[in-house]
Structure 1
Amino acid sequence: MSRIENQFKVHFWGVRGSIPCPGPSTVRYGGNTSCVEMQVDGKHLIFDGGTGLHVLGQSLLPKMPIEAHIFFTHSHWDHMQGFPFFTPGFVKGNTFHIYGAIAPDGSTVEQRLNDQMLHPNFPVPLQIMQANLDFCNVIPGQSIQIDDITVETAPLNHPGEAVGYRVNWRGGTAVYVTDTEHFPDRLDENVLRLARDADILIYDSTYTDEEYHSPTRPKIGWGHSTWQEAIKVAKAANVKTLVIFHHDPAHDDDFLDRVGEEARQIFPRAIMAREGMELQVPISVSLSESFPVSKFSA
C-alpha cells in the first residue's frame, strides 16, 4: 500500500465566507471562498465549491484522469461560485460524484449548479462540461458510504438550509460544519453529534460575539456563528483540534491574528484556517501496514 493511500489529510483551498477578498490585507489567510479537500486513502473528497475550487482544480490537472467526490453544504454563491471555473470538470475522462441536499423549493444540486451557469449569468452551460458528472441527492441525517469511508450528514441552522458532514476512516475523523448559526440557549444537537470526539472540527466562525450581538449592527439571524461558540462546541464534543473557518471578508490578517490569539487562550488546540494549510488526521494502522512484508524479505 502506498503512503498516499494510507493517509487522511485535510487541505484548505478557500477559507472565506460571503465574497472573495483578495488584496494586501488578506495575504496571510487568503481571500478565496469556501473549499476544503480531504484526501482519504488516496480518494479526493471535496467540500464546497467556492472560488477555492478553481485553485484546487489547477492542482489536479497534472494528475488527470481524476475521480473525486464533491459535497455541497448548500447553494449560496460563496459555496458554489468556483464550480463554473473548475477546469477538470471540462475534461473528458474525469469523474465527479456531486452530492447535495434538495433545497426547500424542491430543486436538486444539479438544477442549482445548472441555473448559475445559464445566460445571462454565465456564457457556458453546465452541459458543456465533458467530465462524467454523477449527481447524488443527500438526505440530511443519513450516511454515505465510499468504500470503507463513512460520511455522516446532519442538517444545519442556516437560511435556505445547509448540511454538515463528518468523515470517518480507520478511527480518524474530520468534521466540516459551515454555514450554521448557534442557538441562544443551547448547543445544536446536530452539530454536537457530528463533532463528537472529532480529531478535527472545521466550524463556521464568521463573527465575534461582539459583532453578533452589536447594538447597532447585530448579525442575529444571518445564519452564521462566532469563534466563541465554536469553542463551546469543541469543549462539549471533546474535539481535539478546532479550526476557525469561514472568515468574514471584512476581517483582515491582523484581525484574524488577534482572534487566533484570544481563541488559543481559551482553547489551546484552536487554529485559524489559512489557504494552503494542511492537517494530518491520525488513523489506526495495522501491523502489516506499518511493517510491509517486503521489508523483511531476504
Structure 2
Amino acid sequence: MSSNGDRFEIKFWGVRGSIPCPGTETVRYGGNTSCVEMRVGQEILIFDGGTGLRILGESLLSEIPVKGHLFFTHSHWDHIQGFPFFSPAFIPGNKFNIYGLPAPNGATIKQRLHAQMLHPNFPVPLQIMQANLKFYDIEARETIRINDVTVETGKLNHPGEALGYRVTYQDLAAVFVTDTEHFPNSLDNNVLHLARNAEVLIIDATYTDEEYYDPKSSKVGWGHSTWQEAVKVAKAANVKKLVLFHHDPAHNDDFLENIALQVKKVFPNSILAKESLLIDLKKEFSLPSRLT
C-alpha cells in the first residue's frame, strides 16, 4: 500500500465468514476470515481480526514501530481468531487502540479477546503481548475522531449484536457492514444511514436469495444477508461502488465468479471482495469524477 500520508486505501486480508476454507477451490478469492485494512490519511485502521489479521500483521513488521486502530464488529470466532497470531501486538514499541461493542452479557472487548487466549483454548495469554494496547468499549451511533479521520458506528441485525462502521476522510467515505441480516419487508435504516452516499460499501452478502429462502435449509434468522439485498441497499443509499463480502465457505471460486457476473448486470460498479484486493479511493473517486 502507498506510503503517501494523504491517502484513502482499502486492502482485503480476509473475506470469508464462519470458518477459514483454504484449498484448491478457493485460491482466487481466498479462504481467510474477516479482516480489512484502511490506510486513511496518516492512520492505519483495521476492521475485524479474523485469520486474515495474521497475514496483515506479517506485512506490518516492515513498518515497525507501528501505530494503529483495530475495530471489531463483534466477537464471533471468525472475527477474532486471528488476534492471538497478530505479530505486531507482541513487539514492544508498537501501539494499538482496540475498539468493540460490549457483549449483551456485559463482557468488554478486552475480556472477550482475553478469554479466547486462556487455557485450555490457547497456550499464551493476552498479557504476553508487549505492544501498548488500549481497549475502548463503544456503542452504536457513537462517533470516533482520530485526528482528521471520522469513524461512525451503527447497530447491525445479528445474533449477539454487532457494529457497522463508516470511515470519512476529506469528503470520501467507506463503509464496512458485515454480519447483518436484512429485514423481510424493508431496508435497515441503520445500514442505510451508515451507507449514505458512500464511495465504497463493503457489505455482508453471504447467501443468494435462493439459499436464504430455501424451504429445506432456510438461512432466515442466521444473521446474514444476500447479494440481492446488498444491491437494494447500495441503490437506496446512492453508493458509488459495491463490494460484496463475508463469502460463505461453501462457495468456491467458480460459484463466486458466477455471482459477480449476476451482480454486475444490476449494479455495474460492483465487485466481490478477494484477498489482496486494493481499492484506492483517492484515485478512483477524485473530485472531477465525482462532479461528472
Secondary structure of 2:5's match?
helix
Equivalence map 1:195-214=2 (5 Å): 195-214=195-214
Structure 2 residue 86 is matched with structure 1 residue 89: no
Q: CA deviation at 1:3?
A: 6.1
Q: In the alignment, which residue of structure 2 is the partner of 1:143?
A: 143
Equivalence map 1:1-298=2 (5 Å): 4-282=4-282
Secondary structure of 1:106's match?
coil
- Matched AA of 2:191: V
Gaps of 5+ in 1: 286-298
**TM-score computed with the length of structure 1 as normaliser:** 0.94
Percent identity, aligned pairs only? 63
Secondary structure of 1:4's match?
coil
8 Å Cα contact 1:91/1:129 also seen in 2: yes
Secondary structure of 1:49's match?
coil
Cα separation, 2, equivalents of 1:159 and 1:4: 39
Q: CA deviation at 1:284?
A: 6.8
Q: CA deviation at 1:215?
A: 1.0
- Matched AA of 1:75: S
Cα pair distance change 1:273/1:284, threshold 3 Å: closer
Q: CA deviation at 1:42?
A: 2.6
Cα separation, 2, equivalents of 1:141 and 1:6: 27
**What's the CA shift string for 1:201-242, capped at 9, x where partnerless?**
000000000000001000000000000000000000000000
Gaps of 5+ in 2: 288-292
Cα separation, 2, equivalents of 1:284 and 1:151: 21
**What's the CA shift string for 1:80-134, capped at 9, x where partnerless?**
0000000000000000000001110000000000000000000000000000001
Q: CA deviation at 1:159?
A: 0.1
Secondary structure of 1:6's match?
coil
Cα separation, 1, equivalents of 2:74 and 2:116: 13
User: Is the radius of gyration larger for structure 1 or structure 2?
Assistant: 1
Kindly tell me the number of residue pairs found equivalent between the two proteins.
284
8 Å Cα contact 1:13/1:275 also seen in 2: yes
Cα separation, 2, equivalents of 1:152 and 1:41: 17
Cα separation, 2, equivalents of 1:179 and 1:202: 11
Q: CA deviation at 1:270?
A: 1.1
Q: CA deviation at 1:142?
A: 1.1
- Matched AA of 1:60: L
- Matched AA of 1:246: H
**TM-score computed with the length of structure 2 as normaliser:** 0.96
- Matched AA of 2:187: L
Cα separation, 2, equivalents of 1:111 and 1:149: 27
Cα separation, 1, equivalents of 2:24 and 2:43: 35
Secondary structure of 1:238's match?
coil
- Matched AA of 1:211: E
Cα separation, 1, equivalents of 2:139 and 2:249: 31
Cα separation, 2, equivalents of 1:104 and 1:63: 37
8 Å Cα contact 1:200/1:242 also seen in 2: yes
Q: CA deviation at 1:67?
A: 0.3
Cα separation, 2, equivalents of 1:270 and 1:60: 29
